[in-house]
Amino acid sequence: MTLEEKQQEIVSEFSLFDDWMEKYEYIIDLGKDLPLIDPAKKTDDRLIEGCQSKVWLDASIVDDKMRLTADSDAIITKGIIGLLVRVLNGESPENVATANLHFIDDIGLAEHLSPTRANGLLSMVKKIKILALTALA
Amino acid sequence: MGLVEKRKFSVREIRQDFPALRQQIYGKNLIYFDNGATSQKPQLVLDAINQYYSKNNANIHRGVHFMSQQATSEYETSREYIKSYINAEKQEEIIFTKGTTDGINLVAFSFGSLLSAGDEILISAMEHHSNIVPWQLLCERKGLVLKVIPVNSRGELKLDAFEELLSSKTKLVAVTHISNTLGTINPLKTIIENAHAVGAKVLVDGAQSIQHTKIDVQDLDCDFFVFSGHKVFGPTGIGVLYGKEDLLDKMPPYQGGGDMIAKVTFERTTYNELPFKFEAGTPHIAGGICLGTALQYLNQFNIEDVEQYERSLADYAQDLISTFEGVKIIGTAKNKTSVVSFHVDGLHPFDIGTLLDKQGIAVRTGHHCTQPLMDIFGIPGTIRASFAFYNTREEIDTFIAAVEKSISMLR
Ligand SMILES: Cc1ncc(COP(=O)(O)O)c(C=O)c1O
């Protein structure tokens, strides 16, 4: 599946929900299911400190593919991380660097990636993109 | 002011005065429980803002023409009203500022310039960042020492520790009247008497008190009192610093510019008299005028009725929230008001706040600009519901059901 197809798939999953609470119920479930980052990797250098919630990101490029695991102390943030990981994990640095992550907006979660939200998600996406760009350089 | 007949305290009628309360958020009737962050505005204030800009807009203190005189007169009438409202002795003691933060920075800069290395400033562990950082900056600049009055597990100041910290080195005690995070009402009179006994001055952060309780600066005998217009049903960008005249007289200006001068030459400038010495540049004229309107609005009611009603709301909410499993109320002072802050075991405040938002309920989550206080309680933040006199028990019932639903979704 291409990066774009993965985004489409998420958008169609979310179109099944009638209201916000159902959407969030699903995100929370994703958050609960997301494999935790290896506790040994929950170190300060992997910590992105938001004003509201914290995010730990372990990102590397192995065999020209993005390898991501991430975690958060807030479940909703973690659920959204789960979606981002699903879209970006295993993609080439080039795909990651140029990705337009429109699905977040399409499913109505843009607020979570806004600079004022300060939950660490925007910084996480930036870090992943920078890593991809560095690999390309 | 106490002589006029007061308006009957009817929450249903009061709600009619606040257009912002009549809206839906995500398809749900808005429940606004973030009054600690800022209050909504009554129609009276909205009309006054509109009236100012559509009719009276002119620069003040500097025009011969009719509109300028009109605007100046309204601005100064508002100052006079604010003076009476907080029972200051003179209107020279009422300085318009941008808000609480600005007022504290003014005092830290200007009063601070009179202090010398080794002098001590005393704040408390429950201060808002805006009553911490200006003092840290001052201490760095001048080699002063910042000391902190601790709080107990209920979120009350430890007065015995306070008395031990006080000494002849203490030059200023800067404390909040009511804690924005805990709702604790501090025993100002005791604090002020003790501080004065060692020759220290006292600044009271009234950001969270003027909208909830009677303020009488002469009765309190505080040296400085600061508050923000936007938390007391007025506009943002305007606030007040009250200071005793003899102190303000001794303090150098904070900022230079127009309005604050008597005579300027390149060799030497003399300053205007109080309060203008501290009001450089064109101020927030509409703000100054409409802050007066906001206080007039509040003053229609018996403030004791407002206070009692808000306390009953907070008590009601606190009793209900306490019954949830794993919930810990942060801030259980005997004397508290208007705020219920809580933490749910194993759940992040951000998650609960997000789910409440989607149910149309505005609360604040996080550290509330009191990070050191959160560290003391060992939590990253709380969920804070803060009430105003336009909130109702029915809203609290809906809120409680929404909290319950959110917790069950997250567990
Ligand atoms: C206790 C307290 N002090 C100071 C402030 C700062 O007020 P402002 O941001 O209006 O200057 C606040 C506002 O949140 C507060 O609650």
Residues of B in contact with A55 (CB under 8 A): none
**What confidence score (pLDDT) does residue B41 get?**
98
Residue whose CA lies nearest to ligand 1 atom number 9 = B101
Other CB atoms within 10 Å distance of the CB of residue B246? 9
Length of chain B: 411
Alpha carbon of A27: minimum distance to chain B alpha carbons (Å) = 10
Q: Catalytic residue positions of A?
A: 51
Whole-number Å distance between alpha carbons of B286 and B56: 9
* Residue B25: closest C-alpha in chain A: A20
What does the block give as tokens for B333?
């002072």
Structure tokens at A85: 């990981």
Give the active site residues of B. Answer: 369
- Please give the distance, rounded to the nearest whole angstrom, from the Cα atom of residue B143 to the centre of ligand 1: 26
Question: In chain B, whose CA is at the least distance from the CA of A119?
Answer: B350
Determine the pLDDT at residue B224: 98
Cα of B241 vs centre of ligand 1, distance in Å, is: 13
Q: Do A52 and B26 touch (CB under 8 A)?
A: no
Token look-up 């800067």 returns B174
CA distances from B7 to A73, B13, B44 (A): 49, 10, 15
Q: In what order do the strands lie in the sheet with B94-97?
A: B94-97, B239-243, B224-228, B201-205, B170-176, B120-124, B145-149
Partner-chain residue, chosen from A28, A52, A74, that has the shortest CB–CB distance to B409:
A28
From A24, which residue of chain B is nearest by alpha-carbon distance?
B355
10-residue mean pLDDT series, chain B (411 residues): 80 98 96 98 98 94 89 97 98 98 98 98 97 98 98 97 98 98 98 98 98 98 98 98 98 94 91 95 97 98 97 97 96 96 95 96 92 90 97 98 97 91
pLDDT for the residue B197: 98
The span from the CA of B302 to the CA of B3, in Å, is 11
Nearest atom (ligand 1) to Cα of B180:
16
pLDDT in tens, A64-121: 999 999 999 899 999 999 999 999 999 999 999 999 999 999 998 888 887 766 668 8
Cα separations in angstroms, B149 against A18, B203, B252, B332: 51, 14, 29, 18
For residue A43, count CB atoms less than 10 angstroms from its CB and return exposed for 0-12, middle for 13-18, buried for 19 or more: exposed
- CB contact under 8 Å between A74 and B348, yes or no, is yes
Cis peptide before B380 (omega within 30 of 0): no
Span A3-53, pLDDT tens digits? 999 999 999 999 999 899 999 999 999 999 887 788 888 888 888 877 678
Q: Which of B294, B302, B329, B311 is nearest to B38 (CA)?
A: B294
Ligand 1 atom at shortest distance from the alpha carbon of B127: 1
Asked if the Cβ–Cβ distance from A21 to B409 is below 8 Å, we say: yes
Tokens found for residue A21: 């609470």
Phi (first) and psi of residue A76, to 5 degrees = -65, -45
Domains parsed from chain B with CATH numbers:
11-37+302-410 (3.90.1150.10), 47-298 (3.40.640.10)
What distance in Å separates the CA atoms of residue B128 and residue B100, rounded to the nearest whole number? 10
Contacts of residues B163-166 at CB distance under 8 Å and 24 or more positions apart, as own/partner, are B163/B194, B165/B122, B166/B122, B166/B194, B166/B195, B166/B197, B166/B198, B166/B200
**Predicted complex: ipTM over 0.95:** no
Distances (CA, A) of A55 to A127, B116, B384: 12, 44, 23
Residue A118: what pLDDT? 63
Predicted local confidence at residue A51, as pLDDT = 67
Q: Are B68 and B62 in contact (CB under 8 A)?
A: yes
- The whole-angstrom separation of Cα B336 and Cα B319 is 14
Can you give the residue ranges of every domain in chain A?
A: 3-136
| Residue B330, H or E segment | none
Neighbours of A108 (CB within 10 A): 12
Non-local (6+) Cβ contacts of B327 within 8 A are B321, B342, B343, B344, B345
| Statement: A3-136 belongs to CATH 3.90.1010.10 | yes
